[in-house]
Amino acid sequence: MCTSPPEDAVFAFPCEFPVKVMGKACSGFDLMVAGLVRRHCPALGEGAVSTRLSRGGRYMAVTVTITAESRAQLDAIYRDLSAHDQVLFAL
13-40: per-residue pLDDT in tens? 999 999 999 999 999 999 999 999 999 9
d(CA 53, CA 68): 26
Examine residue 3 and state whether it is found in any structural domain, yes or no: no
Whether residue 13 lies inside any domain: the answer is yes
Residue 2 domain-assigned (yes or no):
no
Q: What's the pLDDT score for residue 10?
A: 74
d(CA 72, CA 38): 15
pLDDT value of residue 2: 45
- Number of structural domains, the chain? 1
Q: Categorize the per-residue pLDDT at 4 as very low, low, confident or very high, splitting at 50, 70 and 90.
A: very low
8 forms bridges with which residues in the sheet? none
Q: Would you say residue 24 lies in a domain?
A: yes
CATH number at residue 75: 3.30.70.260
Contact partners, residue 45, CB within 8 Å, separation at least 6? none
User: Is there a domain that residue 19 lies in?
Assistant: yes
Q: Which range marks the domain in which residue 30 is found?
A: 9-90
* Cα(62)–Cα(5) distance, integer angstroms: 31
Q: What is the pLDDT of residues 34-79, one digit of tens each?
A: 999 999 999 998 899 999 999 999 999 999 999 999 999 999 999 9
